Structures are given as C-alpha cells and as structure tokens.
Amino acid sequence: MKILVPIKRVVDYNVKVRPKADESGVDLNNVKMAINPFCEIAVEEAVRLKEGGTATEIIAVTVGSSASQEQLRTALALGADRAILVETDIEVEPLAIAKLLKGVVEKESPDLVILGKQAIDGDNNQTSQMLAALTGYAQATFASELKIEGEKALVTREVDGGLQTISVNLPCIVSTDLRLNEPRYASLPNIMKAKQKPLDVIEAVSLGVDIEPRNKTLKVSPPPVREAGIIVETVDDLVDKLKNEAKVIT
C-alpha cells in the first residue's frame, strides 16, 4: 500500500503571532515554523501503518515556497520514505491546494491519502473534502481511529452524538483528528538519514492549475484588549452591575 501524506508549513503552535506594522498580514520574520500539528498526526498514523506491515511506502507532499523543504525533511525524519514539494510563492487557498494535490494523486496513484483535518493558521477544514470531490475518492473526516482491512478502511470518527464507525473502499482520503494518535519525536539518527532521502520539487505551474487567490486580505489586527474584571462584595452588587452597567439582565 502506498500512502500519500499532505502536510503544511505553519507558525509553530507555541509562538504567539503578531501582525505586521502595516497590518497587511502576519509577521513571519524570525518566527519559528513547523509542521501543522494535525499533519504531524497524519504522518504518525502513516508510519504506524508501515510499521504494522500494512503500508509499503509513505510519500510526504506539501504546497509552498522552497522554505517548506524544512518541514518535508522533518516528515522524512519521522518516517516518510520520500517527499514532494509543489513549489509556488503564491499564498494558495484550500481549493487551489486541493487541485494541486489532485495532480500529485494522479501521478502517484496512492491507495490512501491521509492529512490533517485543518491547519492552525487558516483553520478552514476544507482541503480534504475538496480533494475527495476532485478525485472521486471515498472520504472519512475527523478520524479518531483507523484500521485497514483488505480493500476497505474502517474509520471511527467523532460526531456531535459521539463516535461513528464507517467503512470506505480504498483508495480513500482520511482527515485526522487530535485523538487519532500522539506523534513521535524525530531521533537524531533519523534526522541525519532524512538528509539522504529523495525530495522532488515540482513547479506548481507545471500541473496546469489556476492557483491565483480569490480572496484578498484587507487587514490583520490583534483582538481588542479585554478590560480587567472587578470583584464585588455582595450578590446585590453583582446584580446591580449586570443590570445597570453591563445591561445583560433586565
């Protein structure tokens, strides 16, 4: 089984982001970048499937600038066999990413595409669903458990009412939830080995996809600072302030 794992380069989740001085976007100067946490879960699940004898090859792929090679090397250190960078300096939107990934899927013909349900920067939760629609593959979103049985994938997914287990035919697309697994850390020997693993670069324009953004960012600004709370002496004081100052009760 061949597994394709799309990943995304994002600001590290431990970093507090700040807008640029002109409020045109997020300031990325000297900011630590990392693999999107949900994508790390996808990589880990693919590696576990290979360790269990289910998968034979893992291919990490990302869409972005040449700087994204750093995150692809991390995926290789975590256990991917090779990597593909679809290179573009345009800030691509989910639909464009899905169209580019469709081109990669057609070239590689994977049995399973597993990716994070959303990225922590855009928070869109769109790419996996769009990719499934474009490729015609079966899809299972928000996976908290994944098992491969023959030509089918059994996916337990989190829904409003609890847990739901569905069976989908391979090839399929699965998006990962937080509770699917806990990603491992890359060991130093594997980091060194990752430098020797193949990483192919494909120009986005070569896939014949229109990736020009449809949306325009007008302004990026931090949320307003919340005023400090106060301590009241009695319940009557609290009711008075809720009624006459906050005006949330009548």
Model confidence at 117: pLDDT above 90: yes
Roughly how many angstroms between the first and final C-alpha of the chain, as a whole number? 64
> How many structural domains are present in the chain?
1
Asked whether residue 206 is assigned to any structural domain, the reply reads yes
Model confidence at 250: pLDDT above 80: no
CATH of the domain at 46: 3.40.50.620
Asked whether residue 147 is assigned to any structural domain, the reply reads yes
CB 137 within 8 A of CB 108: no
Q: How far apart are CA 121 and CA 46, in angstroms?
A: 23
Cα angle 52, 143, 74; round to 5: 60
Model confidence at 248: pLDDT above 90: no
Asked whether residue 226 is assigned to any structural domain, the reply reads no
- At residue 73, the pLDDT reads 97
Q: Six-digit token pair at 250?
A: 């009548």
Q: How far apart are CA 150 and CA 105, in angstroms?
A: 21
- At residue 159, the pLDDT reads 87
- At residue 223, the pLDDT reads 85
Extended strands (E) in 76-183? 82-87, 112-116, 138-149, 152-159, 162-169, 172-176
Asked whether residue 27 is assigned to any structural domain, the reply reads yes
At 184, the pLDDT band (50, 70, 90 cuts) reads very high
- At residue 77, the pLDDT reads 97
40-47 average pLDDT score:
97
Asked whether residue 240 is assigned to any structural domain, the reply reads no
Asked whether residue 248 is assigned to any structural domain, the reply reads no
Point out which residues pair with 87 in neighbouring strands.
64, 203
DSSP annotation of 219: -
Q: What does the pLDDT look like over 196-215, one tens digit per residue?
A: 999 999 999 999 999 999 98
- The domain of 140 spans 2-221
- At residue 175, the pLDDT reads 96
- At residue 160, the pLDDT reads 87
Cis peptide before 223 (omega within 30 of 0): no
Point out which residues pair with 61 in neighbouring strands.
6, 84
Q: What does the pLDDT look like over 218-231, one tens digit per residue?
A: 999 988 888 888 88
Model confidence at 39: pLDDT above 90: yes
Model confidence at 249: pLDDT above 90: no
- At residue 227, the pLDDT reads 81
At 247, the pLDDT band (50, 70, 90 cuts) reads confident
DSSP annotation of 213: -
Q: What is the percentage of the chain residues whose pLDDT exceeds 70?
A: 100
Asked whether residue 242 is assigned to any structural domain, the reply reads no
- At residue 12, the pLDDT reads 94
Asked whether residue 232 is assigned to any structural domain, the reply reads no
Q: Give this prediction's pTM.
A: 0.86
At 5, the pLDDT band (50, 70, 90 cuts) reads very high
132-155 average pLDDT score:
95
